[in-house]
Amino acid sequence: MKRRDFLKGCMACGAAATLGVSGNAWGINSFEGYPEGMGVLVDLTRCVGCRSCEAACNKEQKLPAPDAPFDDKSVFEEKRRPTEKAYTVVNRYDAKPGGPVYRKIQCNHCNEPACLSSCFVNAYTKTKEGAVIYNPKVCVGCRNCLIACPFYVPGYSYSSAFNPVVKKCIFCYDTRLKYGNPPACVEVCPQEVLTFGHRNELLKIGRDRIREKPDRYVDHIFGEKEVGGTSWLYLAGVNFDQVGFDTTMSNDPILSNVKDFLGIVPMVLTIWPALFTGFHLLATKKNHGDGHSGQEDPKP
């Protein structure tokens, strides 16, 4: 038995080595997310705007007391966004005559996060469970991540004088996701708007829902491909741009916009010295008098 396993191991490694070495001939890799990555499917056709998810997040993440109770519906009068005190918010859109549509906004935990790509102290990490988490101990406060996030998610605690840090949804990583449990908002939702599971499974579930009830859903899962794919996926019954989504987003992750420039950097570092030293030698040659080769025309 042991010898058979040993031979199997050799074959597997050999095969992997020969196949693996060929690498990626197209040049640029795309990252579809970690295979064990979790996600949440947000079904906007089910949400009734009860704001229990906001309350759950507030308690789980030990956020400060809100300005208004979580059952106060008057907050829907204006459109809100996640802040340093509220990692998730629900907005109401009067998008269709049948009634309002509610949307839960939180960090989408992208596969290739813009915040992570823009951080020069590597404060963000995409964990294998799929969460994009943040290390406040190294953050310098440049706020490039706020500039980069296409969903306008991160908040910053400007009010703190001595330890301002980025504040955003972390998928309840420290308290729940690490242990395989769903985040607080998912657990509390009465209408089960939020379905927790592996990202690839959720894509299948989302497609099944659309297939079974084509009149109920718009045929698109938002977040499947946008900006490289996100872990939080959305289904809706109306067009996504009517409920506040940016439907002009490209499918390329934000990082790909700066890759060309980053590729030029080592080129300049290598080419410029030779180029400009060359210019120098060419430009000042006739003034050299200290031993550089200067073939003079023979005097007539």
Partner 1 sequence: MNRHKANGVKIVDSHYKVPGKSKWGLKEKLLLGLTPWQYVIQAVRNPFNWILAAIFAVGLPLIAVRFIFGLASVTNSSYDYPWGLFLTFGLFAMVPLSSSGFMLGTTVEIFGRHDFEPIERLALLNGLLGYLFAVVYLLVDLGQPWRLPYPMVVAYGPVAVLFLVGWHVATYLSVQVCEVSVSFFEWIGFPLGKQGVRRITLGLTVAGIILSTLHQGALGALYNYAPGKVHPLWYSSAFQWLHFFVSSIPGGLCMVIVVSTIVRKTMAWRCDANFLDNLDKLTISLAKGASMGLITYLVIKLMGIAHDNKWEYLATGYGAWYLFEMGIGVILPLALFAYSIRRKMVGLIRFSAFLTVFGVVLNRLNTGMITFNWKMAEREIPTLREAIISITLFSIYIVTWRFLLYRLPILYTWKTADERAIAPARGYVTEGNAEPSMAGSYRSRINDNVAWIASQQWP
Partner 2 sequence: MYAVRNWLFGGVFMLVLIASPAGSRAKEIPDSISLGSLANLYEKVDFNHAKHIMLVKDCAECHHHTTGTLTQNPDCVRCHKNSGATAVVACKDCHKAQPFSGAALREKSKTAYHDDILGLKGAYHQNCTGCHRRMGGPTGCQDCHVRNKKGDAFYSAGAYAPPQAHGEGRQRGN
Which parts of this chain interact with partner 2 (CB under 8 A)? 46, 48, 50, 52, 55-56, 58-59, 65-74, 180-182, 186-187, 189-192, 195-198, 201, 204-205, 208-209, 212-213
Q: How many CB atoms lie within 10 A of CB 134?
A: 23
Q: Give the C-alpha separation, 16 to 19, whole Å.
A: 5
Residue placing its CB nearer to partner 2 in the complex, 175 or 256: 175
Count of residues touching partner 1 (by CB under 8 A): 63
Residue of 155, 163, 200 whose CA lies nearest to 57: 155
Q: Return the one option of partner 1, partner 2, none that residue 12 interacts with (CB less than 5 to 8 A, by type).
A: none
Q: Give the C-alpha separation, 222 to 274, whole Å.
A: 49
- Cα–Cα–Cα angle for 161, 162, 166, rounded to 5 degrees: 85
**119, burial (CB in 10 Å: exposed 0-12, middle 13-18, buried 19+):** buried
Stretch that binds partner 1, among 21-29, 37-45, 64-72, 114-122 (CB under 8 A): 114-122
Which phi and psi (to 5°) does residue 283 adopt? -75, -30
Q: Report the Cα 183 to chain-centroid distance in Å.
A: 18
Minimum distance, C-beta of residue 44 to partner 2, in the bound complex (Å): 14
Residue of 109, 107, 111, 106 whose CA lies nearest to 35: 111
Q: How many CB atoms lie within 10 A of CB 222?
A: 23
Mask for 228-267, x = binds partner 1 (CB under 8 A): ------------------x-xxx---xx-xx-xxx-xx--
Residue placing its CB nearer to partner 2 in the complex, 100 or 164: 100
Residue placing its CB nearer to partner 1 in the complex, 24 or 122: 122
Exactly one of 55, 63, 165, 205 binds partner 1 (CB under 8 A); which one? 165
CA dihedral 206, 211, 217, 222 (to 10 degrees): 40
Q: Give the C-alpha separation, 85 to 128, whole Å.
A: 27
Helix (H, G, I), strand (E, B) or coil at 144: helix
Exactly one of 18, 24, 29, 287 binds partner 1 (CB under 8 A); which one? 287
Type of residue numbered 108: N
Exactly one of 75, 90, 101, 139 binds partner 1 (CB under 8 A); which one? 139
Question: How many residues in total does the chain contain?
Answer: 300
Does 120 bind partner 1 (CB under 8 A)? Our answer is yes
Mask for 22-61, x = binds partner 1 (CB under 8 A): ----------------------------------------
Q: Return the one option of partner 1, partner 2, none that residue 187 interacts with (CB less than 5 to 8 A, by type).
A: partner 2
Does 184 bind partner 1 (CB under 8 A)? Our answer is no
Q: Return the one option of partner 1, partner 2, none that residue 205 interacts with (CB less than 5 to 8 A, by type).
A: partner 2
Minimum distance, C-beta of residue 61 to partner 2, in the bound complex (Å): 13
Residue of 110, 57, 108 whose CA lies nearest to 87: 57
Site for partner 1, rule CB under 8 A? 81-84, 114, 117-123, 135, 138-144, 146-148, 150, 152, 154-156, 158-165, 246, 248-250, 254-255, 257-258, 260-262, 264-265, 268-269, 272-273, 276-277, 279-280, 283-284, 287-290
